[in-house]
Amino acid sequence: MADNATIHPTATAPSSTAANAVALNVRNLSVFFGANHVLKEVSLNVPARAVTAIIGPSGCGKSTFLRALNRMHELVPEARMTGEIRLFGNDIYAPSVEPVLVRRRVGMVFQKSNPFPTMSIAENVTVGLRLNGARDRKLLVERTEQSLRMAALWDEVKDRLNAPAISLSGGQQQRLCIARALAVQPEVLLMDEPASALDPLATSKIEDLILELKKDYTIVIVTHNMQQAARISDFTAFFYLGELVEFDVTTKIFTSPVKKQTEDYVTGRFG
Amino acid sequence: MTASNHRWRKFKNRLMQAVTCLCAILVVTPLVLVFYHLVTSGFSSINWAFFTQLPKPVGESGGGMANAILGTFILLGQAALLGVPIGVFGGVYLSEYGSSRLNWWIRFAADILNGVPSITWGIVVYALLVVPMKGFSALAGGVVLGMMMIPLVMRTTEEVLQLVPNGYREAALALGIAKWRTIVQIVVRTALKGIVTGVLLALARVAGETAPLLFTAFGNRFWTHKLTEPIAAMPLQIFNYAISPYDDWHRQAWAGALVLLLLVLSINIGVRFLTRDRFQRNV
């Protein structure tokens, strides 16, 4: 299955990913918004149970790439894509596949924390289950605790699960959003700059959490913060002007990148 | 900069401040005047009979507006049944579905409808319902008020739904929640107070309409037993009494106007109360 065709100078699957199964197999992905060619022929394999960081200057297509992985980019009316994305072997763009079902398997956390203001902390955690038809109270209670524990928020909120979610601090709200995404038990978690609006302490909590979560989940994270990518990711993909420039093991990208552009970017010479 | 220059600038500042303050007072003055006049002229005629009795025949003193008060509520109830669902669903369509081109036309049409003189609405429903049904009716009165509510409710619903941050829609869709569920349970729920506010304000607005009812509900000096009969309404009764030559009726008109104003006022105050919340919501 491992298609090792080298489309870009670096392999789409770095050698050391061989140890990991491939969670997301992206082939020749192009995304257009109207006449705008935003993402150009991107191919890469996202390894399972690892953190893959997407870096690159603003407007390079990082977020579009992330959103294509759970078909969220389709919310833009004139969005169009070509190519193929397989999630553990299943083509997520097959005509018979509903976007809703893809999104249950590939969860997402956004830059701006967005707990639902009309709901309590507990209701926020279980909303994905309840609005998909789960009625079993016992399951919901269990899943609330389990998800909040995974998101390292349980100890802080266990005495006020019925308090409004927006009474939490910014960092807590973001971890609540992570708990909410985890509650539907996705296989992959996409994070779009999840810590860029948080203070350093809250950021380090989110980073610790990501390192903890990768034991069970495949994580793809877009970040503007190079140090953050270096600290938490196993693999790093560098995007520039809609193209995948280089994809490799993180230490390699940050110490001895193959491409000059990558080196310039990670050393802060442009971007 | 010289000292006199500075003084002139300060003077201009004071002057403009005074002008804006005066204008602000002018805005509030009519409400105070109307309210004062209605209370002094109408309050003395408000008594138990006013709320419980039918109008007395010409020449007899006393009586009340019980039928008109109930009639207004019946008309508003019918109007809400027609105007709220269509208006709210239309607003949801404009905000959450729809192509931008079609939406532009719908919005344009709704804004024109909001500006149509109310008597025109009366004539339209007269032609559509009163003529085919061969008579004035409570039903026609409810329909005309409901039709007037539709564009009002639709536009306010759309506006408050647009105030719901897109992040909530995306968060829900990213959880694999279907679009219609996202709209009902997340978007509409977040904006619910705004929608209720819009509905109540639309009701308050049509509660005082007189002209469209002249052609439809017509008015009635007795109780109405069927929706196919003409029905009394407070604005109609006030109108009829006010243009009559009898002092007793004039007093009743003042009282009716006061009660109608209090009704509209209490809806508005109720809206204020509803929109105040323990914790900040988004709309």
Q: Taking chain A, what is the end-to-end CA distance rounded to the nearest angstrom?
A: 36
Which residue among B175, B189, B281 places its CB closest to the CB of A128?
A: B175
List CB contacts (< 8 A) between A166 and chain B: 279-280
In this structure, the strands spanning A36-47 and A22-33 are antiparallel
Inter-chain touch A108–B174, beta carbons under 8 Å: yes
* Per-domain boundaries in chain B: 68-275
Q: What is the mean pLDDT of residues B250-272?
A: 90
Inter-chain touch B168–A114, beta carbons under 8 Å: yes
Q: Count of A–B CB contacts within 8 Å?
A: 75
Domain covering B68-275 in this structure, CATH number? 1.10.3720.10
What percentage of chain B exceeds 70 in pLDDT?
A: 97
- Residue-wise pLDDT tens digits, B129-176: 999 999 999 999 999 999 999 999 999 999 999 999 999 999 999 999
Domains, chain A = 15-264 (3.40.50.300)
Does A180 reach chain B within 8 Å, measured CB to CB? yes
List CB contacts (< 8 A) between A131 and chain B: 172, 175, 177-178, 181-182, 185
List CB contacts (< 8 A) between B168 and chain A: 114, 116-117
Nearest CA in chain A to B281: A117
Strand-pairing partners, residue A85, are: A26
Find the radius of gyration of the CA atoms of chain A.
18
Inter-chain touch B170–A180, beta carbons under 8 Å: no
Q: Model-level pTM?
A: 0.85
Averaged pLDDT in 10-residue chunks for chain A of 271 residues:
39 55 94 93 94 93 95 91 94 94 95 93 96 91 94 94 93 95 95 91 92 93 93 95 94 93 87 54
Does A116 reach chain B within 8 Å, measured CB to CB? yes
| Local structure of residue B176 (DSSP, 8 states) | T
Work out whether the CA dihedral A74, A76, A78, A84 comes out positive or negative: negative
Mean pLDDT, chain B, integer: 91
* Residue A29: its H or E element: strand A22-33
pLDDT confidence bin for B281, thresholds 50/70/90: very low
Residue B207 has pLDDT above 60, yes or no: yes
User: Per residue in B235-253, is it b (16+ CB within 10 Å) or e — as a string?
Assistant: bbbbbbbeeeeeebbbbbb
Rounded to 5°, angle at Cα B5 from B3 and B11: 105
**Structure tokens of A49?**
């149970």
Q: What is the mean pLDDT of residues B39-63?
A: 88
| Local structure of residue B183 (DSSP, 8 states) | I
Inter-chain touch A131–B282, beta carbons under 8 Å: no
In this structure, the strands spanning A235-240 and A218-222 are unpaired
Inter-chain touch A184–B176, beta carbons under 8 Å: yes
Does B48 reach chain A within 8 Å, measured CB to CB? no
Nearest CA in chain B to A179: B175
Cα A233 → chain centroid: 12
**CA–CA dist B280, B61 (Å, integer):** 53
- Give which of B135, B184, B134 is closest to B164, Cα–Cα: B184
Inter-chain touch B280–A166, beta carbons under 8 Å: yes
Cα A79 → chain centroid: 20
Nearest CA in chain A to B168: A114
